[in-house]
Amino acid sequence: MARARYQVLVIPYCIMDGQARFCVFRRNDLDNWQFIAGGGEDEDASILESAKRETCMELLKSAMDGGHKILVFSQFRSLLELLEKDLQNEGIAYFKITGETKKEDRVTFVNRFNQDETPIFLISLKAGGTGLNLTGADIVIHFDPWWNLAAQNQATDRAHRISQTKAVSVYKLIVKDTIEEKILKMQEEKSALADEILSGHAGGLMRMSRAELLELL
């Protein structure tokens, strides 16, 4: 029997006392990352994650009080499950799509979200980042930044469809002094570089070192 192929992801999630702290994940399908070791067992990491979830919940409640409907994207299914528990504890209705959601259920959830009063949709970035029309929402929250800015923008576009009649606000939740800040900076640099190339003013590329160019890949 052939062994399953796994992808391993090592994330330096913060630097404390001059030392990098790491989380290790692995996956054997498109959407299911499994925590193996590292920061999730560290007290400081737990505090950071808990504080970020609390911030997200406060943002969700404030948005709901204003009559808004919200899409929450994350690249980690395990994180969506934690947010799901938070919503259940608060008695807040929601829908959720991950890589395990059946195609017919996705259609049903999308149609109901766009038509009923359910205020929140939890969505796996890779499973629901494309092909969905979610114009019932006018707020998009990216709980964690993704290396691929185009994929993240495509997810945002689920609310920016032709039939959208409201202004759409987008929030990115970034923890200070963590790898998330580096990812955000990289996204901004890639976006600026793309704009420079498309405008025909790519002279800046000639002034960049090989190391600087590699950092943008």
Q: Is the pLDDT of residue 214 over 80?
A: no
Q: What is the pLDDT of residue 156?
A: 82
163-185: pLDDT as tens digits: 777 888 999 888 877 777 777 77
> Bigger pLDDT: 11 or 187?
187
Domain annotation covers residue 193? yes
What is the average pLDDT across 179-205? 66
- Report how far residue 60's alpha carbon sits from residue 42's, in angstroms, rounded to the nearest whole number: 27
What is the average pLDDT across 72-79? 89
Co-location of 81 and 168 in the same domain: yes
91-137: pLDDT as tens digits: 999 999 998 899 899 999 999 999 999 999 999 987 776 678 888 99
Give the three-class secondary structure for 139. Answer: strand
- Report how far residue 51's alpha carbon sits from residue 191's, in angstroms, rounded to the nearest whole number: 29
Residue 26 φ/ψ, nearest 5 degrees: -140, 160
Q: What is the pLDDT of residue 3?
A: 42
Co-location of 83 and 136 in the same domain: yes
129-138: pLDDT as tens digits: 667 888 899 9
Domain annotation covers residue 41? no
> Bigger pLDDT: 204 or 46?
46
Q: Is the pLDDT of residue 36 over 50?
A: no
The runs of H, that is alpha helices, within 11-124 are 43-65, 77-90, 103-115
Domain annotation covers residue 71? yes
Co-location of 58 and 84 in the same domain: yes
Among 61, 58, 83, residue whose Cα is nearest residue 72: 83
Q: Let me know: does 22 contact 12? Beta carbons within 8 Å.
A: yes
Residue 1: pLDDT band with limits 50, 70, 90: very low
Q: Is the pLDDT of residue 80 over 90?
A: yes
- Domain range for 199 is 182-215
Give the three-class secondary structure for 7. Answer: strand
Q: What is the number of domains present in the chain?
A: 3
Co-location of 66 and 105 in the same domain: yes
Q: What is the pLDDT of residue 23?
A: 55
Among 58, 54, 51, 2, residue whose Cα is nearest residue 28: 2
